[in-house]
């Protein structure tokens, strides 16, 4: 049975993983008969956001791994302990946590960096030549992982696309229910809630991404 690593960034779209994107990813993998392992870095979040008011919760701190365990139903590991060769593919759901905790793209844009443990695992996995999928804002990390000229999408947001281009990525506009493939790198991305569409439309794009990643893992 195939096994896919799913990298989470907390719990809640304003400061962690987008829960709906994450659940759609996990459900699609399970329906395809594929095993998955959730993982996240064992670090503090950049900040905590009150998801009712949308405002920062001043003085509150949360751990990315502990919060991500809410989505994973406790079945999660520290990404620092993960071994790339144990997996056939990797998928990163979106949510601002990808740009705040897994990287600092939300703050530094084109000057951003990827969190050390995440970068070590994803670069090592990319070097195996096996496929990876990136959802929503997570593709902003692709130039750091794959280097220049990797093809990707975050939908159609001009400012974000411009920053990605400055980082060396090749941004391609894409509707919510579709995906972009860099065949050379076995790299798949879909915009999901970057386009703020209905959950049913977001699900179409994520489901297609997951199935394409699995297809690439089969060598097709």
Of 48, 136, 164, 195, catalytic: 136
Other beta carbons less than 10 A from residue 2's beta carbon: 16
Q: How far apart are CA 84 and CA 184, in angstroms?
A: 19
Closest CA to 134 of 99, 85, 107, 158: 99
Question: What are the start-end ranges of the E strands in 70-176?
Answer: 76-78, 89-92, 132-135, 151-152, 170-171
User: Known catalytic residue: 38?
Assistant: no
3-state secondary structure of 35: strand
Q: How far apart are CA 148 and CA 214, in angstroms?
A: 25
Give catalytic residue positions.
136
């Amino acid at each position: 049975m195939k096994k896919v690593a799913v990298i989470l960034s907390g719990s809640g779209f304003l400061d962690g993983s987008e829960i709906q994107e994450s659940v759609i990813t996990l459900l699609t993998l399970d329906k395809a008969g594929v095993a998955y392992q959730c993982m996240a870095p064992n670090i503090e979040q950049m900040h905590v956001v009150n998801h009712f008011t949308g405002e920062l919760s001043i003085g509150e701190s949360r751990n990315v791994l502990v919060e991500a365990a809410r989505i994973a139903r406790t079945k999660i590991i520290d990404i620092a302990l993960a071994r790339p060769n144990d997996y056939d593919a990797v998928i990163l759901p979106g949510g601002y946590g990808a740009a705040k905790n897994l990287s600092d793209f939300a703050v530094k844009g084109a000057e951003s960096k990827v969190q050390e443990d995440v970068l070590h695992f994803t670069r090592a996995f990319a070097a195996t030549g096996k496929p990876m999928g990136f959802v929503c804002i997570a593709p902003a990390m692709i130039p750091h992982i794959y280097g220049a000229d990797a093809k990707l999408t975050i939908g159609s947001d001009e400012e974000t696309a411009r920053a990605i281009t400055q980082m060396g990525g090749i941004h391609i506009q894409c509707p919510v229910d579709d995906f972009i493939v860099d065949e050379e790198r076995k790299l798949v991305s879909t915009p999901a809630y970057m386009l703020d569409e209905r959950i049913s439309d977001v699900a179409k794009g994520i489901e297609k991404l997951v199935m394409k990643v699995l297809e690439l893992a089969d060598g097709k």
